[in-house]
Amino acid sequence: MSSAPAHDIKNDPQFQALVSRRSRFAWTLTIAMLIIYFGFVFVIAFAPTLLAAPIGSGVTTVGIPIGVAVIVSAFLLTGIYVRRANSEFDAMTSQIVGRAK
């Protein structure tokens, strides 16, 4: 591959839009995951009694649905990313690649 198309692509406004949108999206989701997970870990480290509080009069504690929710959130966040990447971002990419040929 010569460097000429690389240069053209770099100056393509659509390429710049793709990269900035995708990286903002990816980092937002990354930070969301980090906050959810390390939030969970730090509650365990600093305030374990919060999670050990029973729901209503039963034995099930608040920690159980929260733990399951962290697992489900990981799945949902990947789903959100894949949905947008496989439609919007891929469409932009194929237009950019098409022009560069």
Partner 1 sequence: MRAFRTVSAAATTLAASGFAGLAHAAPAMQGGERQPLNVEAIVMFFAFVAMTLGITYWAARRTRSAADFYAAGGGITAGQNGLAIAGDYMSAASFLGISGLVFASGFDGLIYSVGWLVGWPIILFLIAERLRNLGKYTFADVVSFRLEQTQIRTLSAIGTLVVVAFYLIAQMVGAGKLIELLFGLPYLYAVILVGALMIVYVAFGGMVATTWVQVIKACLLLGGATFMALMVLIHFGFSPEAMFGAAVAVHPKGGSIMGPGNLVHDPVSALSLGLALMFGTAGLPHILMRFFTVADAKAARKSVFYATGFIGYFYILTFIIGFGAITFLMNDPAYYTVAADGAYNKVTALLGGSNMAAIHLSNAIGGSFFLGFISAVAFATILAVVAGLTLAGASAVSHDLYASVIAKGRASEDREVRVSKASAVAIGIVAIVLGYIFEKQNVAFMVGLAFAVAASCNFPVLLMSIMWKGTTTRGVLIGGFLGLASSVGMVVLSPAVWEATLGNPKGTAPFPYDNPALFSMAIAFGGIWLFSKLDRSKRAEIDRAAYEQQYIRSETGIGSHRAVAH
- Binding interface with partner 1 (CB under 8 A): 1, 3, 5-7, 9-10, 15, 18-19, 22, 26-27, 29-30, 33-34, 36-38, 40-42, 44-46, 48-49, 51-54, 58-61, 63-64, 67-68, 70-72, 74-75, 77-79, 81-82, 85-86, 90, 93, 96-97, 100
Residue number, 13 or 75, with CB nearest to partner 1: 75
Q: How far apart, in whole angstroms, are the C-alpha atoms of residue 57 and residue 27? A: 41
Dihedral of CA atoms 25, 27, 28, 31 in degrees, nearest 10, equals 160
Taking the complex as a whole, the smallest distance from the CB of residue 24 to partner 1 amounts, in Å, to 11
In 11-91, DSSP assigns E strands to none
Give the angle 30-94-5 at the CA atoms, nearest 5°: 100
